[in-house]
Structure 1
Amino acid sequence: MTSIVQALHDRIIGSIDSIQPPERYKIVVLDAKTNKIVLSACKMFDIMDRNVTLVEMLESKRQAYASLEAVYLLTPCMESVQRLMDDYPSDSPTGKYKAAHVLFTAPLEDRLFDRLTKSPVSKYIKTLRELFMDFTAIESRVFSLESPSSFYTLYSPAKKMELSAEMDSIAKQLVSVIATLGDFPSIRYFRPPETEDGKRTQSMRLAGLLQSELEAYVRSNQDMAGRQQGQGTILILDRSIDITAAIVHEFTYQAMANDLLPIEDGTKFTYNIENGDGTTEAVSVVIDESDQVFTDIRHAHIVETASTLTSKFNQFVAENEALRGDKDKVASLRNMKDQLANLPQFQDMKAKYSTHIHIAKECMRIFEESKINELGLVEQQLATGETVEGHLPKQVLSEMVPFLDDPDVSGMDKARLLMLYMICRGGLRNEDREQLLDLARMSSDNVEAVRNLGLLGVNTERGGSAPRSKKKPFYPRKKAEDEEQPFDLSRYITKAKKIVEEHINGTLDPILYPYTTEAPSLDSQDSTRSLRKTAQPAWEKKRLNVKGSRLMIFIAGGVTYSEIRAMYELCHSMGRDIVIGSTHVITPRQFIFSLKDLARGPLRPIAPVIPPYSAPVQAQPPQQQRLGPGGPRPGGPGNNMMPPQGRGPPPPQGSGRPMPPGSGGAPGPGGMRTIQKDASGRFVAPTSPHGPPRSPAHPQHPPQHHAPPPPPEEKKKNKMFGFI
């Protein structure tokens, strides 16, 4: 199965490798957003090993290297285009670098194309490409558009004027994901019965835009010529399809840790450790798929996590006899922590086990002190509509009220409980809701979050004494006869998992989940079947082959860790290549925090990833320290390297692949669009699939087909940049 991290990694490295300057060595320049994209899939060593001597940030002050060509990997926005132009000012005989190879992560708007190609920088640009890789790869099966502000734009009444542009942006970014994976999928989306009156949901709007953008991409890309839509499927959903999954407590390791602990961006965790001398020290660790201990336990129930950690640690000790000494095998997390303190020679593994031991213990401490173990049972009754014994819950209100009145239960947990009750009941009478809010004594923010739940399509009110609506839910709850949930606190199954299961089995309702085009045949969804295979009998076609083509799921407005876990489980149980993504990854706390401002929009605008542009100030470059030819190669963020002055770049460590002579611009990986120059040196973009052809750009200065003149002889400078 394809890893989306590996696919993005190959696309980035392939793009850098395709630039082969005659000097062999090159500089890479990233902006703030492309830096996040690159680091989501690549280590810094991966880039430095491609004959790259320096990686720099576009927004930082940089020293000129007029003897080296630069590869710019940029976001197609005004700020990055303007900063690129500043590197090659019209009043300077040379630019910051000898030449520029400009690779944009997404298609460049016509106005930015004209601005760029009519500026002095155009005579320095040797390569101009659109890569279609405008997303981050979070895990092997998970991607994100890194746009938490989308939640407000999609659902806030105060953001209606921005909705169209937001949808268009999401559709374009989804094309990047599809292009990176090399698919041409059919598009399927959620259309609830309420839309029969002409009202369009977010899923419907996005599916239509994606179909248009995908067709435009195929028309403008020669690599896609002759391919038919239906090579895989993408399911378009939005957060309103399953509010419960975003609220209910989840008790698997990764989801629970991100819900209860301050883990930054789902990967960075900081905690205090006690040294041997009794002092404490703050330690920050990165938790991702490079940590094998984490990948082994991330989807395990918290009850199983302790035993799993213990058994794996005992296995680790058994494989390293020197660690045992006179100690026996550990039997608990506390014993394990004591023994780890005596293993200084295995620092890396020690750090990983110590981190996860600490996280597991902290989760269990909060679990018990905050009464989540008792609260979770009530949540599961509300979420599943049944008790542990499988009966209809009849006393759920009387079981819920003590938690609302308990000062030891946090306001956040009370808000989550009230929301689940409103969803379960199909709305509450106004006076009943106010009584429960008064009883809970929550902060105004949590109260506002409860009131704003209706903006996501949840029926929150029932007027007067009118009976509750008997309308059939768009996705009725069903419990399979062979369904097993070994833990009472983990009985709720996300709707996304049920939808994907039914799609794979060929039983998903085509009325509720139609295709944007004609539904593909069973054969077209199964990439493993031979085209020469004879027709199958009708009874064999009733069910799709589970070994079929790739399935992508996109949930606009945020995806939860429980939904991510469910897709991994389906990959394993059904043998399908499944990738899930969203505008961003959310935890229940983040969801509640966003809900409180949903009616009016965020009080403070979310800071853009790329900082606002300001004109450069003429100043001397910062002093740097040179790394000699025998110095260490940078292997990660926070290090930089420049070639020693006067002797050319040092040979890189590792595989120094010989580069063929030429001026660069070799063909890049498939699915990209290269903008060529005509005979006069003007950039002529391919015909835009959405409109008339772009006009040729006339540079302000006469085009030059040779490299810029070399600068005056530079003095040796012992300098070094701080970078990424």
Structure 2
Amino acid sequence: MDKPQDELGGIWDAYRRRLIDGFLKKVKQASRAPYFVLVVDRESLRHLSTAMTMKEISQNGVSLIEIIDKPREPLPGVNAAFVLTPTPESVNMLVSENPRQYAAFHLFFTSSLADREFSKLKQKPAFMKKVKSLWELNIDFFAMENNCFSLGLPAGGIPNLWGSSAHYFEEEVDTVVKRLTSACRLLARPEAWKVRYPVASKPAEQVAKRLVRGLSAKISGGESSDETAEYKSATLLVVDRMCDPWSPLVHDFSFQAMANDVLELDQSRLGGSRYYGAGKKANDENANAILEDEQFAVWKKYRHKHVADVSSQLNEDLQSFVNSNAAAKVHIKGKEPGQELDLKDLSSAIQALPEYGETLSRHSAMVNALNDCLELFKTGSLDGIARVEQDLVTGRTALGERCRSKKVLSSIVDLLMAKEVGTEDKVRLTTLALAIARSEKFMYYSGGRPSLLSGASFKSRFDLNECFDLARISSPEKTAPARGLAMILEKIKNAGTDYKYSLESSDYKGIKKGVRHLPKRQVEASYDVSRYQPHVYSLTADLVEGYLLPTIFPELQVSDTANGGGKTLFMIFFVGGVTHSEMRTVSLLSEKCKGENAKIVTGGSTILTPSAFLESLAGVADASIRSRVLRPPAPLQFDSAKESDQKVGLETDQKVDLERG
């Protein structure tokens, strides 16, 4: 699945290329055997499944996939490749391996192996004699799509970043830097990077400075980078989630964002998120109906489009897929080429051509998800809620008139008292209103406020406790998100002059003047409920067009070697997590850069859904919630038991099961 020569690669492409060229091909070359066994731990399995299916892995020489902590049958005549996270637990299991278990061991770690862990290996000479290669892949993050990646940190680390413990803050920043370094090195060599951050943000500043020190150490230490890194010039802007706490709370009605917001997606299985339909669970018929899949062209085409637009086009694409497939036409008797097909025809095509069943099942998953999103919009009071949200964050009505605080507050009260509005939606709306009312001036450092309601009138009229009283919400767990956000905003307010800068500074006035001369930024809104453009739009455009002043966004150079020429990369990273709406926005901007030999990528500590953001805020206010939301994710499951019966043919008389269940 190579990209065209004239197309700039993204982070998913690079991640996938690292797995194929930097891992699978290396093992086959080193082992000089047509097949080998793959042994993984739970976390490394998540990394592998980000960009490759188990079927693809098997097609590249893997005859059997094993979990390191499960009993395994000895295969002394077969080479084994271990892909492990360099944790003490995984290394301890590795050194306890019987050297006679496999013919040879090829070791790959998802990130750098600490000296103390490497010393454990050296203390096992019998085992090390069987080790034929050892590599560090530097893939300890997750490439979600070509324009977006995640570090996979629970709750985005927000309770650690904004809690009361300095120790947890330091640990979180160090973890972010370690994984972000891997993402940076995958796309460009260390010396290619420039790193910028807002002086207003302590988390962003700490991450940026430590990242530059880490990348500089790679250069001074003589450590070589991936020679296939595509970009010769790269700029990273590090910001923190609190530069924009409202975008994670606003309803976004683009397909992927809405599906992750209002539907129950199954993310426990390999290969990507699945959707089975409202109230349904996995079964044999749709267990493989993967919804979010970077290799499915139809999903990529529609994931960032408004659900109303997708609704009118998706069924047409499904019809076109069947009609245009020459083989399918042959198997549908009695129908002329191009003749419209009914459900019975489609069923016959699937039965006659099982190789197309997977594609059609994914179409079906998308249709199910889309229909349920539209149904929830109609029945879940989302239209009324979204209109109030849009007024809040834009400061303008759908007709373009300036909103009045009193009227907007009245609309909020009506929703809080409405019986048809659920408690979760009331908590979310209240938290959003709080974010608008108590946000600090420094949070608008990219030029212009997100709402005219953040002035004195709205601030003075908004009362958090009154909102909860009107909504009849008294449970500490339900009020915790707003209380957590209030604690963060108060901490920001009291941070002192070293943390903030004056909105009225001459530098900031210079930015505002410059922005007026830029081409029109705002994307025309086709729907009243989708007027708001996330903060990252202006921030990214300023970065790409050179309007971020160094006094407000200092620039740190990793190397004195001048960068220039060749392909250019811009990366925006959110400490604390990035949202689906921001993924969509950056993808749109990156499309606009086509022809400029530049690409834009965004990433975050995690991918934040609205519910995940609320939980992370709750973890700041409540210690018991904090311990829950910061737990590592549950291990991924293999595919269905039905698929575990599949065999992989080998180039010898021996056959080995490909374990997938």
Is the contact between residue 56 and residue 723 of structure 1 (CA under 8 Å) also seen in structure 2? no
1:445 to 477, 480, 486: 477
Q: Is 1:404 equivalent to 2:409 in the alignment?
A: no
1:286 to 290, 299, 320: 290
Q: Is 1:493 equivalent to 2:533 in the alignment?
A: yes
The structural deviation recorded for 1:481 is: 4.7
2:85 to 69, 75, 81: 75
* Mapped partners of 2:44, 2:409: distance in 1: 50
The structural deviation recorded for 1:112 is: 1.1
Q: Is 1:172 equivalent to 2:147 in the alignment?
A: no
1:361 to 371, 384, 389: 371
Amino acid paired to 2:466:
Q
Q: Evaluate the alpha carbon distance shift between residue 342 and residue 455 of structure 1 in structure 2; reply closer, same or farther with a 3 A threshold.
A: farther
Q: What aligned pairs does 1:92-241 form with structure 2 within 5 A after superposition?
A: 94-120=99-125, 121-184=127-190, 185-193=192-200, 201-224=202-225, 231-241=233-243
1:591 to 613, 625, 631: 613
Amino acid paired to 2:324:
E
Amino acid paired to 2:434:
M
The structural deviation recorded for 1:315 is: 2.9
Q: Deviations over 1:201-226 (max 9, x none)?
A: 10000001111111122233453599
Per the alignment, residue 321 of structure 2 pairs with 316
User: Based on CA coordinates, which of the two structures has the bigger radius of gyration?
Assistant: 1
Per the alignment, residue 542 of structure 1 pairs with none
Q: Deviations over 1:649-694 (max 9, x none)?
A: 6349xxxxxxxxxxxxxxxxxxxxxxxxxxxxxxxxxxxxxxxxxx
Amino acid paired to 1:404:
L
Amino acid paired to 2:245:
I
SS in 2 for 1:247: coil
Q: What value does the CA root-mean-square deviation take over the aligned residues?
A: 3.9
TM-score under structure 1 normalisation? Answer: 0.72
* Mapped partners of 1:3, 1:635: distance in 2: 34
Per the alignment, residue 700 of structure 1 pairs with none
Q: What aligned pairs does 1:291-440 form with structure 2 within 5 A after superposition?
A: 291-316=296-321, 318-319=323-324, 344-345=350-351, 347-394=357-404, 395-426=407-438, 428=459, 432-440=463-471
Worse-matched range after superposition: 204-213 or 256-265: 256-265
SS in 2 for 1:271: coil
* Mapped partners of 1:365, 1:242: distance in 2: 30
Per the alignment, residue 536 of structure 1 pairs with none
Is the contact between residue 55 and residue 640 of structure 1 (CA under 8 Å) also seen in structure 2? no
* Mapped partners of 1:497, 1:429: distance in 2: 30
Q: Evaluate the alpha carbon distance shift between residue 264 and residue 64 of structure 1 in structure 2; reply closer, same or farther with a 3 A threshold.
A: same
Is the contact between residue 194 and residue 236 of structure 2 (CA under 8 Å) also seen in structure 1? yes
Q: What aligned pairs does 1:634-649 form with structure 2 within 5 A after superposition?
A: 638=644
* Mapped partners of 1:343, 1:272: distance in 2: 26
* Mapped partners of 1:570, 1:26: distance in 2: 43
Unaligned runs of 5+ in 2: 1-7, 440-458, 495-500
Higher helix fraction: Structure 1 or Structure 2? 2
Amino acid paired to 2:188:
G
* Mapped partners of 1:431, 1:497: distance in 2: 28
* Mapped partners of 1:268, 1:456: distance in 2: 35
The structural deviation recorded for 1:449 is: 1.0
* Mapped partners of 1:556, 1:250: distance in 2: 21
* Mapped partners of 2:489, 2:345: distance in 1: 53
The structural deviation recorded for 1:47 is: 3.0
Q: What aligned pairs does 1:3-18 form with structure 2 within 5 A after superposition?
A: 3-14=10-21, 15-18=23-26
SS in 2 for 1:552: strand
Is the contact between residue 134 and residue 176 of structure 1 (CA under 8 Å) also seen in structure 2? yes
1:37 to 34, 47, 61: 47
Per the alignment, residue 268 of structure 1 pairs with 274
SS in 1 for 2:180: helix
Query: How many residue pairs are counted as aligned between the two chains?
Result: 587
The structural deviation recorded for 1:324 is: 9.8
Q: Evaluate the alpha carbon distance shift between residue 566 and residue 169 of structure 1 in structure 2; reply closer, same or farther with a 3 A threshold.
A: same
Q: Evaluate the alpha carbon distance shift between residue 599 and residue 583 of structure 1 in structure 2; reply closer, same or farther with a 3 A threshold.
A: same
Is the contact between residue 32 and residue 609 of structure 1 (CA under 8 Å) also seen in structure 2? no
Per the alignment, residue 4 of structure 2 pairs with none
Unaligned runs of 5+ in 1: 89-93, 194-199, 463-468, 529-547, 612-633, 644-648, 653-715
The structural deviation recorded for 1:280 is: 12
Q: Deviations over 1:511-537 (max 9, x none)?
A: 22221239999x945x34xxxxxxxxx
Q: Evaluate the alpha carbon distance shift between residue 408 and residue 340 of structure 1 in structure 2; reply closer, same or farther with a 3 A threshold.
A: farther
* Mapped partners of 2:279, 2:415: distance in 1: 34
The structural deviation recorded for 1:563 is: 0.4
* Mapped partners of 1:124, 1:380: distance in 2: 62
The structural deviation recorded for 1:568 is: 1.0
1:555 to 574, 596, 603: 574
* Mapped partners of 1:51, 1:234: distance in 2: 37
The structural deviation recorded for 1:188 is: 3.1
TM-score under structure 2 normalisation? Answer: 0.79
Q: Is 1:21 equivalent to 2:31 in the alignment?
A: yes
SS in 2 for 1:68: strand
SS in 1 for 2:65: strand
Greater relative contact order: 1 or 2 (C-alpha under 8 angstroms, separation 6 or more)? 1
Amino acid paired to 1:358:
N
SS in 2 for 1:494: coil
SS in 1 for 2:533: coil
Amino acid paired to 2:619:
D
Amino acid paired to 1:79:
E
* Mapped partners of 2:428, 2:342: distance in 1: 35
Q: Evaluate the alpha carbon distance shift between residue 349 and residue 24 of structure 1 in structure 2; reply closer, same or farther with a 3 A threshold.
A: closer
* Mapped partners of 1:501, 1:636: distance in 2: 49
Q: What aligned pairs does 1:54-69 form with structure 2 within 5 A after superposition?
A: 54-69=64-79
* Mapped partners of 1:23, 1:142: distance in 2: 36
* Mapped partners of 1:481, 1:106: distance in 2: 43
